[in-house]
């Protein structure tokens, strides 16, 4: 495992999510009651007034969690239980992993899925593939359309869809984000997001509307984002997606390779 890559990707992931939250709060205030907690052994992102559907993972996320040196108790985990905060806690591989797993299990958490992390040195990026649709980088004035494509493409419904749409429309205004739409016959069919930080490129969320799936739009959007990142000074690209998903296949087709798997834990 390349620890420097893990740290770079983790730091970028946290930076991008924090930027989205700040931009959203600047636009709509504290509608979602976001809370960001920075600990020595974790970074947590909560949204205390986020609508939640029982079939979807919660918004609350904890990144790079590790058991604190004062284990077997953790006041942070005590708070999650005391306040009934349903959070997904991510753990990356390392010397701490066995101790961390034991502590989480003691608090009633279980491993629920694995998350592959992908990396590509952008000097290895090949020429962009021909687009299956028209790929365009969009302006802030078009973010409502992109947000709609993402929230529908992810399958959100009702109040949860409205929340994710609002978060995308305002959050992706933050500095560093570049957003792309794929259009087919002048209709917005797919969307993809990129965040740049110094020489690091985070290939963020992407989705395709149901009627346009299987036509190569996501692969074209991925190629466009990687090319844009390289053109704007990025030397390393990172991404995360569901294990065994179509997104993983597209990432691998363009040269991105898994370098670690993190484990997501949740109380049942």
pLDDT of residue 242: 85
Interatomic CA distance for residues 70 and 2, integer angstroms:
27
Q: Hey, which CATH number is domain 121-259, 3.40.630.30, 1.10.3720.10, 3.40.1400.10, 3.30.1370.140?
A: 3.40.630.30
Instruction: For residue range 136-148, list pLDDT tens digits in order.
Output: 999 999 999 999 9
Rounded to 10 deg, the angle between the 143-153 and 158-171 helix axes is 140
Interatomic CA distance for residues 124 and 233, integer angstroms:
14
pLDDT of residue 128: 58
pLDDT of residue 46: 98
User: What tens-digit pLDDT sequence spans the chain (268 residues)?
Assistant: 466 899 999 999 999 999 999 999 999 999 999 999 999 999 999 999 999 887 889 999 999 999 998 778 999 999 999 999 999 999 999 999 999 999 999 999 999 999 999 999 999 997 655 555 689 999 999 999 999 999 999 999 999 999 999 999 999 999 999 999 999 998 999 999 999 999 999 998 899 999 999 989 999 999 999 999 999 999 999 999 888 888 899 999 999 999 999 999 999 8
CB 170 within 8 A of CB 140: no
pLDDT of residue 70: 76
Q: Encoding tokens for residue 101?
A: 């797993």
Domain extents for the chain? 3-117, 121-259
pLDDT of residue 116: 95
Phi–psi pair at 168, nearest 5 degrees: -70, -45
Interatomic CA distance for residues 121 and 230, integer angstroms:
10
Q: What is the pTM of this model?
A: 0.94
CB-based contacts of 194: which residues, under 8 Å, 6+ apart?
Answer: 177, 178, 179, 180, 201, 202, 203, 204, 225, 228, 229
Q: Spell out the long-range contacts of 22-27 with Cβ–Cβ below 8 A and sequence spacing 24 or more.
A: 22/174, 23/170, 23/171, 23/172, 23/173, 23/174, 24/166, 24/167, 24/170, 24/171, 26/170, 27/170, 27/173
């Amino acid at each position: 495992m390349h620890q420097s890559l893990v740290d770079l990707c983790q730091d970028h992931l946290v930076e991008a999510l924090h930027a989205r939250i700040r931009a959203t709060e600047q636009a709509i205030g504290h509608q979602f009651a976001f809370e960001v907690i920075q600990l020595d052994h974790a970074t947590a992102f909560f949204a205390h007034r986020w609508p939640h559907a029982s079939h979807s993972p919660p918004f609350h996320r904890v990144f790079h969690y590790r058991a604190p040196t004062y284990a077997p108790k953790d006041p942070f985990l005590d708070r999650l239980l005391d306040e009934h905060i349903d959070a997904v806690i991510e753990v990356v591989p390392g010397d701490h992993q066995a101790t961390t797993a034991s502590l989480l299990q003691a608090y009633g958490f279980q491993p629920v899925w694995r998350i592959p992390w992908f990396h590509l040195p952008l000097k290895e990026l090949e020429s962009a593939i021909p687009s299956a649709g028209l790929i365009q980088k969009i302006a802030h004035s078009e973010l409502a359309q992109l947000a709609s494509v993402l929230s529908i493409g992810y399958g959100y419904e009702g109040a949860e869809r409205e929340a994710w749409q609002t978060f995308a429309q305002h959050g992706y205004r933050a500095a560093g984000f570049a957003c792309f739409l794929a259009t087919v016959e002048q209709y917005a069919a797919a969307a993809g997001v990129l965040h740049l930080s110094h020489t690091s490129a985070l290939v963020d969320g992407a989705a395709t509307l149901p009627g346009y799936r299987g036509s190569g739009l996501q692969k074209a959007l991925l190629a466009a984002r990687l090319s844009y990142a390289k053109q704007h000074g990025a030397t390393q690209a990172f991404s995360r997606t569901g294990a065994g998903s179509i997104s993983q296949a597209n990432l691998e087709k363009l040269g991105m390779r898994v370098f670690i798997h993190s484990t997501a834990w949740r109380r049942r």
